[in-house]
């Protein structure tokens, strides 16, 4: 079923289609953000096997050992699940897809001071949504800029084919994959205010800067979605969820990328 544009202007939709990404300002209210902050502050003091496994007992030179990602918090926390299904986000996704969006994944990143960034990569290398593509909704819980590790995008690479990654620079990236931009590609920083949401497609090449600050976290609530007409997804992301919370199971795509290597849980941003 085709969805009529409800939230986006034709200009916004055109920007997403031509550039591969779109920022919607203030899609999360201060009250929403406070709720998210409180929820993940409480989670940060716990160990939740398979979802959040911080090093709580002593100092580590790597700040991400103390504050790693929270993976799939919607599977154990109702607040995270509710914001993964945040109606304003789903409305934008409906406009971008032209059909209903199904929620496939939630994540929360603390990105404490001193954290490495992530090398450029493509999301659908991991999710393998087919037919169609995944779309990320990247919510800034803190304002982001080049100093605290904002996201980087390579505009107009949304049609760039999914490629096998090269090895990333371990001095700057805490993940091992790196996708080289095309020769004419320009890497640009995405500065965002609290509550803004960045939407981008699964083929868009993107990554993030290191957090160079000494006292600023760069927290983000990130979810990935699939179009309702998709038939398969990498098995790590089942079940998906409709807007009303109904669980949907797609055919399990065992392929984690064109190299034929199965990739585990989704990587950091």
- Helix/strand/coil for 6: coil
Cis amide linkage into residue 205, ω under 30° from 0: no
Q: How many domains does the chain have?
A: 1
Q: What is the pTM of this model?
A: 0.92
Q: Is residue 268 part of a domain?
A: no
Instruction: Write the DSSP assignment of 41-106 as a string of letters.
Output: HHHTTS-BTTTB----SS--SSHHHHS-PEE-GGGT-HHHHHHHT-HHHHHHHHHHHTS-EEEEEE
- Tell me the CATH number at 26: 2.60.120.620
Q: Is residue 218 part of a domain?
A: yes
Sign, Cα dihedral of 190, 29, 138, 21: negative
Q: How far apart are the first and last CA of the chain?
A: 33
Which residue from 12, 35, 18, 22 is spatially nearest to 82, judged by alpha carbons? Answer: 35
How far apart (Å, rounded) are the C-alpha atoms in residues 125 and 147? 28
Q: Is residue 91 part of a domain?
A: yes
Q: Is residue 59 part of a domain?
A: no
pLDDT in tens, the chain (269 residues): 344 446 899 999 999 999 999 999 999 999 999 999 999 999 999 999 999 999 998 777 889 999 999 999 999 999 999 999 999 999 999 999 999 999 999 999 999 999 988 889 999 999 999 999 999 999 999 999 999 999 999 999 999 989 888 888 777 777 788 888 999 999 999 999 999 999 999 999 999 999 999 999 999 999 999 999 999 999 999 999 999 999 999 999 877 655 544 444 444 44
**CA neighbours closer than 13 Å in the CB half-sphere of residue 220:** 28
Give the pLDDT score at 265: 46
Q: Is residue 122 part of a domain?
A: yes
Q: Is residue 163 part of a domain?
A: yes
Q: Is residue 258 part of a domain?
A: no
What Rg, from alpha-carbon coordinates, does the chain have?
Answer: 17
Instruction: Write the DSSP assignment of 123-173 as a string of letters.
Output: THHHH--BSS-EEEEEEESS-B-TTTT-EEE-TT-TTSPP---EE--TTTB
CB atoms within 10 A of CB 149: 30
Q: Is residue 237 part of a domain?
A: yes
- For 244, the domain range is 10-45+64-253
């Amino acid at each position: 079923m085709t969805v009529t544009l409800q939230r986006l202007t034709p200009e916004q939709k055109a920007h997403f289609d031509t550039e591969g990404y779109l920022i919607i300002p203030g899609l999360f209210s201060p009250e929403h953000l406070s709720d998210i902050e409180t929820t993940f502050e409480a989670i940060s003091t716990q160990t939740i096997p398979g979802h959040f496994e911080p090093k709580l007992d002593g100092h580590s030179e790597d700040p991400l050992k103390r504050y790693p990602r929270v993976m799939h918090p919607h599977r154990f926390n109702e607040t995270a699940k509710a914001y993964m299904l945040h109606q304003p986000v789903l409305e934008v996704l409906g406009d971008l897809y032209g059909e209903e969006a199904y929620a496939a994944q939630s994540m929360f990143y603390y990105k404490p001071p001193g954290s490495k960034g992530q090398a450029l990569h493509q999301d659908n290398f991991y999710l393998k949504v087919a037919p169609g593509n995944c779309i990320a909704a990247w919510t800034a819980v803190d304002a982001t800029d080049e100093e605290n590790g904002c996201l980087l995008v390579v505009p107009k690479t949304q049609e760039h084919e999914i490629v096998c990654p090269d090895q990333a620079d371990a001095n700057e990236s805490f993940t091992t994959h790196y996708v080289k931009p095309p020769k004419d590609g320009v890497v640009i920083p995405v500065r965002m205010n609290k509550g803004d949401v960045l939407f981008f497609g699964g083929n868009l090449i993107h990554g993030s800067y290191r957090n160079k600050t000494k006292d600023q976290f760069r927290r983000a609530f990130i979810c990935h979605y699939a179009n309702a007409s998709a038939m398969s997804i990498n098995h790590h992301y089942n079940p998906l969820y409709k807007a009303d919370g109904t669980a949907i199971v797609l055919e399990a795509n065992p392929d984690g990328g064109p190299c034929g290597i199965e990739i585990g849980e989704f990587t950091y941003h």
